[in-house]
Structure formats: structure tokens, C-alpha cells
């Protein structure tokens, strides 16, 4: 039985796991926003998150007797990816502390367009006029969504946009390195790289933490592991083009969190930008799926 046939047998499970994973990661973002607004430094969050995640990953692979899956074939390239990739979560958590969560996530959706652009330089792909048009229209939506009319400041939007660019770098470089590296080693090296950078810089950012803040950082770390596990499992049991659009269910989760915790609702610019970004992103996914079938 080939892989395509196996994937086609469990589409509903794939959709469920994708939506669950997205929801868990949005909860992680909410916890991160709460911590930043509570005075915790982002560097502390990233350092302590890695201190939790890396041992958990090692314990898992030791317990499954699969430690060799973590061995990198290109350690220098993986290390460089982890160090550069540190900027993605660092900029995002800094930005989300200045913005409503929904607004931050809408702007972060622009990573799909930057992924297509970076694929030209890193993977040698050549997008056609249809995808280029979708990218241009998508960034028009980003500009509209970045209007600070309903809350947050301009620096927060810029930080989230920078985060989306470096997240796209992580995705594209991961696709390139996956030619020689296992997914397990890429996940470990990235989290290890983020942890090393954060721990080196931590003495300049450390502030005393209370018990509640430490508990929330551990919770954030567990949510990160759980969310990524769910999404990885989703891509393992269903076709990517089927489940990728469900990433946009983030809007539902973030609106709910903004309403329940911070008592704010997205303004008109955010909704207009979200519609344009999501429509453009879905068109990019559609074009990739169509070209893949050809």
C-alpha cells in the first residue's frame, strides 16, 4: 500500500489534529502574551521554554529507542538555522505583547507569502504570475490589517511582520535540509539553537519570577510540544493541501481569547485584512496543489 493511499484513508483525523494543534498553539500564544504583559522578559520565556522542551524531546526518543533519529548529517547548517530562527519567536512574543492577539495572528499569516518568495532563492522554485499576484494582493491585506486604529502600536505590527519573515525562513530552510536531515533532528536542533542563544543573552534580561509565572512558562512549553505534535501528526495522516487551509481557524481561537481575557474585539481593518490575506493564502495553496498534481 503506497503512502498516498494511506494518507487518503484518514482525512478527518488529519483535519481534527490540525485544528486541535492550531488551537493549542494559539493558547500558547495567549499564555506568552499574558507573561509579557505581566513583566516577564521574552528572553526568559524562550530560555526556560527550551530548558523544558529539549529534555522532553530527548526523553521521548530515548524511551522509543530511536535516539539515532536525532543525529544531524549537517550540524553546522542546522546550528545556523537554529541561531537565525531564534528571531522568529523572539520578535513574535515581543510584538504580541503590544497588540491584540487576533491582530498579531492575522499579520503573521503573511508568512505564507514570504515562504513563496524565499523558495525562489533557497529552493530554486519559480512562481508563476498567478502566485505573484496572490502575494501582492496578500500584502495589501497585511498593510490594511496593520492599521493601529483599534489597538496596539506600529512597533508591534512591525515585530510580528519580522517574525513572519523568519518563520518563513525556518520553513523553507527546513524543506531544503530535509533532503539530508530527519524531521526529528531539525526539531531538536531548532529548539536547542533557540535555547542556546536565549541562555547566552539571559543574564542581561533576567528579572525575578514568581511561582505563577514559572508555572505559566512550563505550561507554555508543554503547549508548544503538544501543538507541534498534533500538527506533525496531522501532516502524517492527511494530505498537506487538504489540512493546510485549516490553519486559518486561528482567527476563531484568537478572537475568543481576546474577548474572554482582554475584552477586545477586532476592528474593521483587521477583518478586511484577514479576508484578503486568507483568500490570497488559499489561492497560493490551491495553485501549489494544482501544480503538484500536474
Q: CA-CA distances (angstroms) from residue 208 to 29, 44, 169, 204, 212?
A: 22, 10, 33, 12, 12
CA dihedral 247, 249, 255, 261 (to 10 degrees): -80
Residue that the C-alpha cell 526523553 belongs to:
59
Boundaries of every domain in the chain: 3-293
Helix (H) / strand (E) containing 273: helix 268-293
Nearest to 217 by CA among 203, 231, 233, 198: 198
Largest CA distance in the chain: 57
Give the pLDDT score at 6.
42
Is there a contact between 181 and 190 (Cβ–Cβ < 8 Å)? no
- For residue 158, which phi and psi values (nearest 5 degrees)? -65, -40
pTM, full prediction: 0.86
Distance (Å, rounded) from C-alpha 132 to C-alpha 169?
Answer: 18
pLDDT in tens, the chain (294 residues): 344 444 445 778 888 888 898 899 999 999 999 999 999 999 999 999 999 999 988 998 888 888 888 888 898 998 998 899 899 999 999 999 888 888 888 888 888 888 888 877 777 777 777 778 888 888 888 888 887 655 567 888 899 999 999 988 888 888 888 888 887 888 888 889 999 999 999 999 999 999 999 999 999 999 988 888 888 778 767 776 677 788 888 888 988 988 898 888 777 888 888 888 888 888 887 776 666 555
CA angle 28, 26, 134 (to 5 degrees): 135
Distance (Å, rounded) from C-alpha 241 to C-alpha 244?
Answer: 6
Amino acid at each position: 500500500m503506497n503512502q498516498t493511499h494511506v494518507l487518503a484513508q484518514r482525512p478527518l483525523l488529519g483535519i481534527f489534529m490540525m485544528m486541535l494543534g492550531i488551537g493549542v498553539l494559539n493558547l500558547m500564544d495567549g499564555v506568552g502574551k499574558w507573561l509579557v504583559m505581566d513583566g516577564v522578559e521574552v528572553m526568559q520565556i524562550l530560555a526556560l521554554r527550551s530548558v523544558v522542551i529539549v529534555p522532553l524531546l530527548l526523553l521521548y526518543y530515548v524511551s522509543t529507542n530511536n535516539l539515532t533519529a536525532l543525529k544531524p548529517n549537517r550540524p553546522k547548517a542546522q546550528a545556523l538555522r537554529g541561531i537565525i530562527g531564534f528571531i522568529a519567536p523572539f520578535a513574535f512574543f515581543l510584538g504580541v505583547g503590544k497588540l491584540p492577539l487576533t491582530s498579531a495572528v492575522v499579520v503573521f499569516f503573511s508568512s505564507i507569502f514570504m515562504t513563496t518568495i524565499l523558495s525562489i532563492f533557497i529552493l530554486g522554485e519559480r512562481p508563476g504570475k498567478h502566485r505573484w499576484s496572490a502575494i501582492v494582493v496578500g500584502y495589501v491585506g497585511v498593510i490594511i490589517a496593520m492599521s493601529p486604529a483599534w489597538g496596539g502600536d506600529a512597533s508591534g505590527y512591525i515585530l510580528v511582520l519580522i517574525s513572519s519573515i523568519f518563520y518563513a525562513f525556518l520553513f523553507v530552510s527546513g524543506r531544503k535540509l530535509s533532503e539530508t536531515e530527519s524531521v526529528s533532528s531539525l526539531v531538536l536542533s531548532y529548539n536547542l539553537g533557540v535555547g542556546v542563544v536565549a541562555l547566552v543573552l539571559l543574564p542581561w534580561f533576567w528579572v525575578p519570577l514568581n511561582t505563577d509565572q514559572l508555572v505559566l512558562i512550563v505550561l507554555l512549553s508543554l503547549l508548544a510540544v503538544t501543538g507541534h505534535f498534533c500538527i506533525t501528526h496531522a501532516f502524517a495522516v492527511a494530505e498537506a493541501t487538504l489540512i493546510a487551509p485549516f490553519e486559518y481557524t486561528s482567527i476563531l481561537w484568537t478572537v475568543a481569547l481576546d474577548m474572554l481575557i482582554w475584552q477586545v474585539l477586532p476592528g474593521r481593518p483587521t477583518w478586511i485584512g484577514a479576508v484578503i490575506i486568507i483568500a490570497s493564502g488559499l489561492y497560493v495553496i490551491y495553485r501549489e496543489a494544482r501544480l503538484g498534481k500536474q
